């Protein structure tokens, strides 16, 4: 796995250096389009995914590669994603931020075997921060092992992704959280939200959409650092098993507290 870590990290940094950063704040109008209203895709997403897909397929011959952009064109690529060895790619997480010339954004890769998260990588191309995790081997930030440390404030710091929720559910969550959680803005980038849980900046995150490319990499990082992710009803979040929503927290106790406040 150590050799794989070196090669995947080098590949991601190559994408950041050659494809991503040269176009940051320099995209032209014809290099951005909408997959669906409000959900942009850029030439960077496409070129990043193409290079990552080609090179990861060479690293582990026989493994499938499922990238966000390919799957958006052909949703059937998600069929059987919980079977066999699969690379999962988010070639540019935080595309909307990137297209607007804002940070954060990230490159994320997960390696999944029969639905189980085995390894993950999250690169912040601006700071060059590399988060990496391997199942039963720990979580690392820039090759230093890390464990979650809850924030020290009077209330848990919670970043709740409420923008995909209907108004009544959003208002209900805000009402339930009042005086019990310290609500903060989300970064609009899962590749930043998970590291914040691990690095003591946030305690709790709530997600409505749980696409594998957005969550498989960060979920393993969080778990290996001592946190917990699960569906709001407590069932496991697992690649290839359908479900809606997930609570992620810096510790099992914080997860229980969040579930009680928001869904109890």
Q: Is 180 a member of any domain?
A: yes
pLDDT of residue 74: 97
**Which of 146, 181, 196 marks a domain boundary?**
146
141 contacts 129 by C-beta, under 8 angstroms = yes
Residues 118 and 176 in one domain: no
pLDDT of residue 22: 98
Q: Is 99 a member of any domain?
A: yes
**Which of 77, 112, 146 marks a domain boundary?**
146
Q: Which domain holds residue 86?
A: 2-146
Q: Distance of alpha carbon 15 from its chain centroid, rounded?
A: 18
Please, which residues bridge with residue 61 across strands?
none
Q: What is the CATH number of the domain that holds 117?
A: 3.30.540.10
Residues 24 and 107 in one domain: yes
Residues 43 and 101 in one domain: yes
Q: What is the CATH number of the domain that holds 219?
A: 3.40.190.80
Q: Is 126 a member of any domain?
A: yes
pLDDT of residue 3: 72
Residues 114 and 169 in one domain: no
Residue-level pLDDT, tens digit, the chain, 264 residues:
557 999 999 999 999 999 999 999 999 999 999 888 888 999 999 999 999 999 999 999 999 999 999 999 999 999 999 999 999 999 999 999 999 999 999 999 999 999 999 999 999 999 999 999 999 999 999 999 999 999 999 999 999 999 888 999 999 999 999 999 999 999 999 999 999 999 999 999 999 999 999 999 999 999 999 999 999 999 999 999 999 999 999 999 999 999 999 999
For the record, the structure tokens of 89 come out as 């790619």
pLDDT of residue 2: 57
Q: Which residues contact 36 (CB under 8 A, 6 or more apart)?
A: none
Residues 48 and 108 in one domain: yes
Residues 23 and 132 in one domain: yes
Provide the number of structural domains found in the chain: 2
Q: Is 119 a member of any domain?
A: yes
Residues 103 and 165 in one domain: no
Q: Is 151 a member of any domain?
A: no
Residues 216 and 163 in one domain: yes
pLDDT of residue 28: 94
Q: Is 53 a member of any domain?
A: yes
**Which of 115, 146, 177 marks a domain boundary?**
146
Residues 15 and 120 in one domain: yes
Residues 129 and 162 in one domain: no
Residues 33 and 86 in one domain: yes
Residues 135 and 237 in one domain: no
Residue 216 exposed, middle or buried by CB count within 10 Å (0-12, 13-18, 19+): buried
- Look up the pTM and report it: 0.96
Q: Is 152 a member of any domain?
A: no
Q: Is 117 a member of any domain?
A: yes
């Amino acid at each position: 796995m150590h050799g794989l870590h070196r090669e995947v990290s080098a590949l991601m940094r190559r994408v950041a250096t050659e494809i991503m950063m040269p176009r940051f704040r320099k995209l032209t109008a014809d290099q951005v389009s909408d997959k669906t209203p409000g959900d942009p895709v850029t030439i960077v997403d496409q070129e990043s995914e193409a290079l990552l897909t080609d090179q990861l397929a060479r690293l582990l011959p026989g493994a499938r590669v499922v990238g966000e952009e390919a799957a958006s064109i052909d949703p059937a690529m998600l069929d059987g994603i919980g079977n066999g060895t699969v690379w999962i790619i988010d070639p540019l997480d935080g595309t909307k931020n990137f297209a607007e010339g804002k940070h954060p954004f990230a490159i994320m890769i997960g390696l999944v075997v029969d639905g189980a998260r085995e390894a993950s990588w999250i690169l912040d191309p601006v700071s060059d921060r590399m988060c990496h995790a391997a199942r039963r081997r720990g979580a690392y930030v820039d090759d230093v092992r890390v464990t979650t440390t809850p924030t020290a404030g009077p209330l848990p710091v919670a970043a709740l992704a409420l923008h995909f929720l209907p108004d009544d559910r959003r208002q209900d969550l805000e009402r339930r959280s009042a005086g019990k959680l310290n609500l903060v803005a989300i970064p609009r980038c899962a590749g930043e939200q998970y590291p914040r849980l691990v690095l003591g900046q946030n305690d709790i995150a709530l997600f409505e959409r749980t696409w594998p490319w957005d969550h498989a990499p960060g979920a393993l990082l969080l778990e290996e650092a001592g946190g917990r992710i699960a569906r709001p009803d407590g069932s496991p979040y697992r690649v290839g098993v359908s479900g809606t929503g997930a609570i992620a927290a810096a510790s099992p106790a914080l997860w229980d507290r969040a579930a009680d406040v928001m869904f109890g």
